[in-house]
């Protein structure tokens, strides 16, 4: 009896710890939406507001007055969708090749892909800018989604999933039926790789949507800013309208929250599906 009580107490403690951690993680999102409904002076009251106010419309009006906000929103959405689509196509093709085919230098090439994941992202800033300037792509959306069209994480994820989750006999059977290699990839492999594609799509969309450094390097005109860069341009040392900034941040979070809400289960399935294969 005492042992059962100890187990129940340990379980309650674990639930309490998880609950506290969840509250800490959710609190920044909650306060973003709360502060979006208050004026700048109310946000800095002591204590700060803990519930919604009535200044949301005024903050929104100031937001669209100071920024081409919905154009920036559309630019972020366009870049994120293009980056995600290109990554899904190219990373799945690369992962399929590494998982199914045998070719010369396969292992060294895959090792190079993995090694590239260890390089800090800022090392690419100057070379990327020089390439974009040479191509004449400065202040163009393609300067954001073309360099990010395929990533090492995506190739690794698709290789692991295809190698462990799709039977090789199914691919061999499709070859015996006369299917070409691209037909096998498109009609057999991709439909079965749904969890990995969903995981990769969600990760890529979130990373592209939140990307700040790349637009900062290559974008010049305010109407071509993505949302992170546009919202950052509203900040100043002494006159930042934090309520207005919180409105923009709250709107910017909505696509990510919706995407995660509908993809959370697939995200977990895709991340764990290839874990049994090295």
Q: In the prediction, which pLDDT does 276 show? A: 45
For residues 41, 43, 45, 46, the Cα torsion angle rounded to the nearest 10 degrees is -170
Contact (CB, 8 A) for 147 and 128? yes
CA atoms within 13 A on the CB side of 24: 6
What do you get for the CA distance between the two ends of the chain, in Å? Answer: 44
Q: What share of the chain is helix, strand, coil (3-state, %, to 5)?
A: 75, 0, 25
Question: What is the reported pTM?
Answer: 0.86
CA distance 151 to 83: 10
- What is d(CA 132, CA 142) in angstroms, rounded to the nearest whole number? 9
pLDDT at 140: 92
**Cis peptide, bond prior to residue 270, ω within 30 of zero:** no
**Angle at alpha carbon of residue 182, lines to 177 and 187, rounded to 5°:** 65
Rg of the chain in Å (alpha carbons): 23
**pLDDT score at 50:** 86
Domain boundaries along the sequence of the chain? 68-273
- Distance (Å, whole) CA 32 – CA 247: 8
With contact defined as beta carbons under 8 Å apart, do 223 and 71 qualify? yes
> Please, which residues have CB within 8 angstroms of residue 73's CB and are 6 or more apart in sequence?
227, 251, 252
C-alpha–C-alpha distance, residues 209 and 217, integer Å: 16
Q: What is the pLDDT of residue 4?
A: 63
Helix (H) or strand (E) holding 70: helix 69-100
Q: Please give the C-alpha separations between residue 162 and each of 91, 190, 191, in angstroms, as whole numbers.
A: 12, 9, 11
Are 266 and 199 within 8 A, CB to CB?
yes
pLDDT tens-place values along the chain, 278 residues long? 566 666 677 788 888 899 999 889 888 889 999 999 998 888 888 888 889 988 899 999 999 999 999 999 999 999 999 999 999 999 999 999 999 998 899 999 999 998 988 888 778 888 888 999 999 999 999 999 998 888 899 999 999 999 888 888 888 888 888 888 889 999 889 988 888 898 899 899 999 999 999 999 999 998 999 999 999 988 887 788 889 999 999 999 988 888 877 776 666 665 555 444 44
Cβ-proximal residues to 39 (8 Å cutoff; 6+ apart), any chain: 53, 55, 58, 59, 243
Six-digit token string for 65? 């007055």
CATH code 1.10.3720.10 for 68-273: yes
Residue 271's pLDDT is 56
Q: What is the pLDDT of residue 90?
A: 95
The pair of three-digit structure tokens given for residue 270, joined into one six-digit string = 């895709």
């Amino acid at each position: 009896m005492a042992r059962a009580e100890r187990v129940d107490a340990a379980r309650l403690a674990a639930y309490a710890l998880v609950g506290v951690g969840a509250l800490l993680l959710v609190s920044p999102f909650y306060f973003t939406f709360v502060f979006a409904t208050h004026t700048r002076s109310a946000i800095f009251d002591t204590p700060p507001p803990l519930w919604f106010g009535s200044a949301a419309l005024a903050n929104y009006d100031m937001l669209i007055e100071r920024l081409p906000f919905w154009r920036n929103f559309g630019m972020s959405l366009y870049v994120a969708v293009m980056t995600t689509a290109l990554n899904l196509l190219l990373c799945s093709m690369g992962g399929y090749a590494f998982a199914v085919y045998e070719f010369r230098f396969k292992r060294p090439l895959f090792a190079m892909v993995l090694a590239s994941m260890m390089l800090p992202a800022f090392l690419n800033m100057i070379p990327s800018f020089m390439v974009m300037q040479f191509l004449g792509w400065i202040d163009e959306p393609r300067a954001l989604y073309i360099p990010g069209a395929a990533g090492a994480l995506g190739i690794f994820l698709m290789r692991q999933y295809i190698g462990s989750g799709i039977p090789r006999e199914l691919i061999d059977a499709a070859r015996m039926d006369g299917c070409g290699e691209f037909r096998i990839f498109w009609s057999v492999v991709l439909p079965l790789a749904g969890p990995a594609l969903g995981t990769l799509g969600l990760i890529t969309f979130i990373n592209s949507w939140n990307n700040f450094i790349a637009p900062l390097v290559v974008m010049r005109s305010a109407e071509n800013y993505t949302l992170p860069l546009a919202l950052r341009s509203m900040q100043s040392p002494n006159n930042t309208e934090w309520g207005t900034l919180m409105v923009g941040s709250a709107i910017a979070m909505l696509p990510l929250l919706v995407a995660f809400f509908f993809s959370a289960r697939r995200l977990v399935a895709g991340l764990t599906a290839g874990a049994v294969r090295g």
